[in-house]
Amino acid sequence: MGGGLSGPATPREEPTMKCPQCGCQEFYAKDPVDPFETYRFMCPGGDIIPDPDNIGQIEITLQTEAFCDRCSWHGRLDALKTT
């Protein structure tokens, strides 16, 4: 990779997954085995990025029930994909 990076002419809408209630992009998921265990993750650009402390501890998919870090919203991540 290299060369000149020309800025995008028109701003393109990123497929960001964010909370439909507060717009927060930080969520957490509960351990299916131990509901008291939670795993934080973010979804910048539609990718699921687990918190570095949580990598490998739980698999977070679009079918995972996610809980918003800031408000009471929770639901499956694939529900956030629809516009």
What the block records as the tokens of 17 is 């997954």
Task: Annotate each residue in 14-33 with x if it binds Zn ion (CB under 5 A) or - if it does not, as one string.
Answer: -----x-xx-x---------
Between CA 81 and CA 83 the distance in angstroms is 6
Between CA 37 and CA 30 the distance in angstroms is 6
Query: With binding defined as CB under 5 A, does residue 57 bind Zn ion?
Result: no
Binding segment (CB under 5 A) for Zn ion, from list 9-17, 39-47, 56-64, 65-73: 65-73
Tell me, what amino acid is at 34?
Answer: D
Binding site for Zn ion (CB under 5 A): 19, 21-22, 24, 68, 70-71, 73
